[in-house]
Amino acid sequence: EDQVTQSPEALRLQEGESSSLNCSYTVSGLRGLFWYRQDPGKGPEFLFTLYSAGEEKEKERLKATLTKKESFLHITAPKPEDSATYLCAVQAAGSARQLTFGSGTQLTVLP
Amino acid sequence: DVKVTQSSRYLVKRTGEKVFLECVQDMDHENMFWYRQDPGLGLRLIYFSYDVKMKEKGDIPEGYSVSREKKERFSLILESASTNQTSMYLCASRTGVPGETQYFGPGTRLLVL
């Protein structure tokens, strides 16, 4: 069974304090790993897709990396507007239509 | 720019009412999904559809049904709403190509009294 575990559940940072969020996964044949950002009361907003170990993607203060067992979302010098819940999801070869989601990391960046 | 829209942002219904939630995507995607999201439980898949008139049960289909008469539109139906169906409902769509991005709508927050 495909599994996605995100840690920590919640993270509080001071503005400018860099950190990383973790997404560990167990799947039978990874087709893609996806990162989303979700603001309270809104739908998830797509951030990145990673396909193979060693791949990296960047967008502003965010950088996503992928290994064979986990992905990290690195946040460099975060700002209060980066506060949100970050969701990780995987698509496995055996579940071509569905994504398996983690439970998310709630990030709070304090000014 | 990709777009998934949902018919309502907020809904208040009474127990026993029939509730329709509608989702429309403009990206010609084959796959469409309905999830509910509750605090501490994460995203849970209710139903999905991979083609017009085709549907498959997700993890929590009980108490729900769906309809997909046109490719761009996917409806979630609560035949007789109950208080435990109070939740945030999210629609999503994706192409049939493995590894392609799944896009979400803005969500409908449903309160059943």
Q: Name the minimum distance, in Å, from the CA of A14 to any CA of chain B.
A: 25
- Residue of B30, B70, B62, B41 whose CA lies nearest to A97: B30
- pLDDT tier, B100 (very low <50, low <70, confident <90, very high otherwise): confident
CA angle A104, A90, B39 (to 5 degrees): 25
Which range is least confidently modeled, A15-29, B76-90, B96-110?
B96-110
Q: Are A90 and A32 in contact (CB under 8 A)?
A: yes
The Cα–Cα gap between B43 and A61 comes to 26
Q: Name the minimum distance, in Å, from the CA of B16 to any CA of chain A.
A: 25
- How much is the average pLDDT of A10-24? 98
Tell me which residues of chain A, numbers 45 to 74, contact chain B at a CB-CB cutoff of 8 Å.
Answer: 45-46, 49, 51
Nearest CA in chain B to A47: B101
Other CB atoms within a 10 A radius of the CB of residue A70 amount to 17
pLDDT at site B28? 92
Which tokens sit at B104?
Answer: 């979400």
- pLDDT tier, A29 (very low <50, low <70, confident <90, very high otherwise): confident
The Cα–Cα gap between B94 and B103 comes to 6
pLDDT at site A95? 67
pLDDT tens figures, B27-40: 999 999 999 999 88
pLDDT tens figures, A55-87: 999 999 999 999 999 999 999 999 999 999 999
